[in-house]
Every structure is written in structure tokens, then in C-alpha cells.
Amino acid sequence: MPARTLKDKVVVIGGASKNLGGLVARELARDGAKIVVHYNSDSSRDKAEQTVADVKKAGGDAFAHQGDLTKVAEVEKLFDAAVRAFGKVDHMVNTAGMVIKKPMTETSEEEFDKMFAVNSKAAYFMMREAAKRLERDGSIVTVVTSLLAAYTGLYSVYAGSKAPVEHFTRALSKELFGRNISVNNIAPGPMDTPFFYPAETDDSVAYHKSSSMNGDLTKIEDIVPYVKFLLTDGWWLNGQTLFINGGYTTR
């Protein structure tokens, strides 16, 4: 089996302007990947353009594309843009997500609908569109959450809206038999990013830290090697959810 590399491979990354998605883009660029840097809103435009500049500086190629991934037409436009610019798509990594933390009794219908739109619907149609567009020997990776293996309250609509992605992954990985495309999830522990802190208190942050093997939160730098692995040497792993969390939860 020839070595699998990222040289000249086209990777569409959902939520790539900052945090985990931004670091994934920069690290894949070191191996010569071509990156489609998706971002959601005007407020992220500058960071997306900075990610593009960083990718090119690292030896890859990139462009930024804005879109609301909860709208199927905009997911399709994202992949259209990738094909127009680079001629193909080899891999898809979706890091986009949203979190709220509150009791189920206080969760509104609007909050429920928004969380499922971002964490479930957008993931589904990113996977669907990737399945239509990917070249043979590609990979699809979606970021979920280690709370899928936790027994806890307050995250019902967050973890609940991520949970369907596990079944989407199993189903799609089976449907793509014959094309040698792997489909997997990465479930990080609570990550030390601005995404995490607004939903937490000092006490809950301390609790999350105490639940890992080294008393700290997951770093985005801890997750990127596993994304890269799934796009290259980890191609034989398929239909799985990897809990990358320092022992925060197990299953």
C-alpha cells in the first residue's frame, strides 16, 4: 500500500477561521494540502483571511469561503467553490459547532432548534455533500464531543444534538463501501478555547480539568494529530468515534 500524503490534497474544513479548525488548516498546509477555509459570519472574516495567509506561508494553498452551514444550499456552494478553485475535493473536516449549558426545564424551543441546526443538520449535510464530491481514497471527519460518553446534566441539548452524528457516521461509512472513503468522528474533551468558557463557571472549569489525566483541559494541539492521522495513515479506521480527551470520559 503506497504511503498516503496530503501533498496537493484538497481539504474542505468547516469552521476553519479560528480555534481547532484554524489550527487543522495550518498544520495540514505544512504537508502541502490545499485548504478551503470555511467561516460562518462577517465577524470571522478577518480571522479566516489570516488563516488563508498562514496556510500559504506554511506551504499550502487556500481560499476563504463564507456560508451558513445550516442552509443546505450554502453547503452545496461551499463544495462548488472548492471544485471551481482546486478541481476536486479529497477530504472534509467539520469542526463547526455550538454549545449551551442549562437545565432541560429552561431550554427554549428556539435554543433547541438552533442547536440541532448547527450541530446535527449542518453536520449531516456537510457529510452528505462530501460523500457526493470526494475522490476515491478520501476521508470525512466530524468533530463531536466527549460528553457523548458522560453521565451528566445541563448539556442535554448540546450533547443531544451531537449524538445523531454518530449514527450518520456509521450509516455513511457503510454506504460508501467500494470507494475506499473512511468516515469517522473525533470526540474531544472540553477544549481550552473561547468556545468553551462562556458556558462555564470557575467551579465547573475546575471540575472539567480535574477529570483528565493531567488536571488540564484538552488542547487543540492534542487533537490535530488525530485529524491528520485519519486523513492519512489512519485510512483503515472507519465508522468510529475516537474519544481524544485524556481520560475525561471513556466508552
Nearest to 65 by CA among 86, 53, 51, 48: 48
Pairing of strands 241-244, 182-188: parallel
- Sheet with 241-244, side-by-side order of all strands: 61-66, 34-39, 10-14, 89-94, 134-143, 182-188, 241-244
Q: Of the residues 39, 158, 197, 226, which is catalytic?
A: 158
- Please, which residues have CB within 8 angstroms of residue 180's CB and are 6 or more apart in sequence? 136, 137, 235
For cell 490535530, the residue is: 224
* Cell numbers for 139: 476521508
Residue 218 has what DSSP assignment?
B
- Confirm whether 207 is a catalytic residue: no
H or E element that contains 46: helix 45-58
Q: Give the C-alpha separation, 118 to 129, whole Å.
A: 16
Active site residues: 158
